[in-house]
């Protein structure tokens, strides 16, 4: 993937957006794409119309950009992302983040489905990500340095403390139950073994999932401020005797969809 590919996709997206300059991009995780329906005066751009844009292959990921306004804020909703477990190179999973950088979108609000590890967290909880542990063992910044990005970026406060404060306050005001913790990113696509989950607990992880981390690292490279919320869809492997399956993940995500959407819409209206 070259800078030229990113610029071509950015040009195509800019042309479709007309004079709308998005202030917040929202990445909708598995089963959380319903937020797109809350976007007012929507302009939908299928990923297939954006040159070089990676196409998702997983159920629960639609594959389109929805531009419009949410609570009066100009937004770009990204319905569907590609993951490394689909075979995508890390740089491909963050293609869209680099496009957002080209479009000078200042804030990225990410979401995902994740398994719960923390002893008091349960399926159906939302968790604000405070930090992460990258167990994908790959960086999206591997390879030649892209224009404007650092070779060795600092990765402290990747999840913007100020934006997190706003999300916390919004949750309190809306009466949405919100946990906060560390997200461990694994490669997947198999779920973890119980032994791996015990290891992750000792590492200090509160939730586990297969996305988000490459995108947040790439966003730091572009100076995009990030905030991220996990929808805890299941107890992590071995916490209960129930086997894990993707259908369950999607079902639980749909149950918390309303709280999630109110939280995102309420928060971004307060971002400065």
Residues that bind ligand HPA (CB under 6 A): 113-115, 191-192, 208-210, 233-234, 236, 244, 249
DSSP string covering 198-221 = HHHHHHT-SEEESSSHHHHHHHHH
Cβ closest to ligand HPA, residue 177 vs residue 187? 187
Active site residue 132: no
Cβ closest to ligand HPA, residue 38 vs residue 246? 246
Active site residue 85: yes
Cβ closest to ligand HPA, residue 68 vs residue 115? 115
Distance CA 29, CA 34 (A): 10
Q: Out of 111, 112, 139, 211, pick the active-site residue.
A: 211
| Residue 224 · residue 107 · CB < 8 Å | yes
Checking phi first, is residue 93 left (phi over 0); if not, alpha (psi -120 to 50) or beta?
alpha
Rounded alpha-carbon distances, angstroms, from residue 37 to 16, 32, 260:
19, 11, 13
Q: Out of 8, 85, 199, 251, pick the active-site residue.
A: 85
Active site residue 134: no
Q: Out of 79, 111, 230, 234, pick the active-site residue.
A: 234
Helix (H) / strand (E) element for 75: namely strand 73-79
Angle at 66 between CA 157 and CA 111, to 5 degrees: 30
235 φ, ψ (degrees, to nearest 5) = -75, 140
Distance CA 263, CA 178 (A): 9
Cβ closest to ligand HPA, residue 96 vs residue 191? 191
As to burial, measured by CB atoms within 10 angstroms (0-12 exposed, 13-18 middle, 19+ buried), residue 201 is middle
Residue 248 Cβ vs ligand HPA, minimum distance, rounded to whole Å = 9
Cβ closest to ligand HPA, residue 174 vs residue 244? 244
Active site residue 118: no
Active site residue 210: yes
Residue 115 Cβ vs ligand HPA, minimum distance, rounded to whole Å = 2
Residue 61 Cβ vs ligand HPA, minimum distance, rounded to whole Å = 13
Q: Out of 122, 246, 248, 269, pick the active-site residue.
A: 246
Residue 233 Cβ vs ligand HPA, minimum distance, rounded to whole Å = 5
Active site residue 195: no
Q: Out of 84, 88, 113, 114, pick the active-site residue.
A: 113
Residue 162 Cβ vs ligand HPA, minimum distance, rounded to whole Å = 28
Q: Is the N-terminal amide bond of 189 cis, ω within 30° of 0?
A: yes
Active site residue 211: yes
Active site residue 187: no
Strand partners for 134: 185
Distance CA 132, CA 180 (A): 12
**Catalytically annotated residues:** 30, 61, 83, 85-86, 113, 210-211, 234, 246
């Amino acid at each position: 993937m070259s800078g030229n590919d990113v610029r071509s996709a950015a040009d195509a997206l800019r042309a479709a957006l007309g004079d709308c300059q998005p202030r917040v991009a929202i990445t909708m995780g598995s089963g959380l794409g319903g937020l797109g329906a809350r976007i007012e005066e929507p302009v939908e751009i299928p990923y297939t119309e954006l040159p070089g844009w990676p196409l998702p292959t997983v159920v629960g990921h639609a594959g389109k950009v929805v531009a419009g306004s949410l609570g009066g804020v100009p937004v770009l909703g990204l319905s569907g992302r590609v993951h490394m477990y689909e075979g995508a190179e890390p740089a491909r999973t963050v293609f869209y983040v680099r496009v957002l950088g080209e479009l000078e979108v200042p804030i990225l609000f990410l979401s995902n489905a994740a398994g719960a590890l923390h002893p008091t967290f349960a399926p159906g909880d939302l968790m604000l990500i405070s930090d992460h542990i990258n167990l994908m063992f790959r960086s999206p910044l591997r390879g030649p340095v892209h224009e404007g990005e650092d070779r060795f970026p600092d990765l402290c406060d990747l999840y913007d403390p100020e934006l997190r404060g706003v999300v916390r306050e919004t949750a309190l005001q809306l009466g949405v139950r919100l946990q906060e913790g560390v997200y461990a990113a694994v490669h997947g696509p198999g779920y973890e073994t119980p032994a791996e989950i015990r290891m992750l607990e000792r590492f200090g992880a509160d939730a586990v999932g297969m996305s988000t981390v490459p995108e947040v690292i790439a966003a730091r490279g572009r100076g995009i401020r990030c905030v991220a919320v996990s929808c805890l869809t299941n107890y992590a492997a071995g916490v209960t005797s129930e086997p894990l399956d993707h259908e369950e993940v999607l079902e639980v995500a749909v149950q918390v969809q309303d709280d999630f959407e109110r939280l995102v819409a309420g928060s971004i209206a307060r971002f400065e």
